[in-house]
Amino acid sequence: MKNTLLEKYGPWALVTGGTSGIGAALAEELAKAGINLLLAARNQQKLEQQAQSLTSRHSIEVATISVDLSQKDAYRELIDKSEGYEIGLFIPSAALENNGKFTQIAAEDELRLLQLNVISVYALTHHFARKMQERKKGGILLITSLSGIMPSPYFANYAGSKAYVQNLGYSLNWELKRYNIDVSVLTPGPTSTPMLEGTGVDFAKTPMSIMSPQSVAKIALKGLGRKVVIVPGLKNRIMAFMLKYLISTRAAIAMNGKMMEKVASFHK
């Protein structure tokens, strides 16, 4: 896989949210494959630490861009600062997650979520897809969530944002493959990340697998270009299959709503 990734998607990969969670794990795996990295995240200090760590352990270049993509038009800054890098692989891993009762979450927080999870993902994917189309080569790995393919009471806006990305990826897979651009959608279940820890949900009590970011990243890159949708973890794949083929929407809404009310601290 190492040589394949470098040949297909080198010389540079851009990973947003590349300092923690799945984004950091993907950056590590790409570094092992010999791909140079352009990492984008909010915290400049963490970016510098991540860059130093990766360059000291792998024979690659790492460049960083400090940017908060939840702010209006911040994606333009990332586009401008990425000029000069031949991005062969784009992975928008940065995301926000709000949870709780829909009417009690501040609207400004939910709008920041949409700015990061939807608008910046669209704008950056559009930009880099056009660049890849000109070169007739590239890869895009969009990152969603099981929440994006199922009813998710108390995660309504987050789930809606991930549903957008899910269908964007499905559709672009067909459109862009004629230009030798691979588009896959990574749809993980609960993953041991700072985002998961902040949800207030005990996912160990749900019928889903809690996976490590490292495991998710390895599965994602193995499936990139081979699968349209990549769902890591057997329990998660079973859950996705049941929701798609075996359970009515009404039943899924009730099942997931009741489950969240049992395992979520914000409902107590």
Report pLDDT for 197: 59
Residues in the chain, pLDDT under 70: 1-3, 194-209, 265-268
Pairing mode of beta strands 87-92, 36-41? unpaired
Cα separation, 224 vs 237, in Å, equals 17
Residue at token pair 């959608």: 185
* Residue 201 confidence (pLDDT): 67
- Total domains present in the chain: 1
**For residues 260 and 110, what is the distance between their CA atoms, to the nearest angstrom?**
20
Element (H, E) at 140: strand 138-143
pLDDT of residue 258: 85
Which one, of 21, 195, 17, lies nearest residue 116 by Cα? 17
> Which residues make beta-bridge pairs with 224?
227
pLDDT of residue 199: 59
3-state secondary structure of 184: strand
- The reply to whether omega before 194 is within 30° of 0 (cis) is no
Residue 124's CATH number: 3.40.50.720
Tell me if 224 sits within 8 A of 143, measured CB to CB: no
Give residue 246's pLDDT: 76
| Degrees, nearest 5: CA angle 88-97-213 | 55
Question: Which residues are known catalytic residues?
Answer: 158
What pTM does this model have? 0.92
Residue 185 · residue 199 · CB < 8 Å: no
pLDDT of residue 2: 58
Helix ranges (DSSP H) in the chain = 2-9, 21-32, 44-57, 74-82, 107-114, 121-135, 156-177, 194-197, 213-223, 234-241, 249-263
Strands across the sheet with 229-230, in order?
Answer: 62-66, 36-41, 12-16, 87-92, 138-143, 181-186, 229-230
Place of tokens 């080198």: 10
73 CB neighbour count, 10 Å cutoff: 11
Check residue 249 and give its pLDDT. 85
Residue 218 belongs to domain spanning: 2-267
* pLDDT tens-digit readout, 26-36: 999 999 999 99
Q: Are 129 and 176 in contact (CB under 8 A)?
A: yes
Angle, alpha carbons 106-19-47 (nearest 5°)? 110
pLDDT (0 to 100) of residue 187: 96
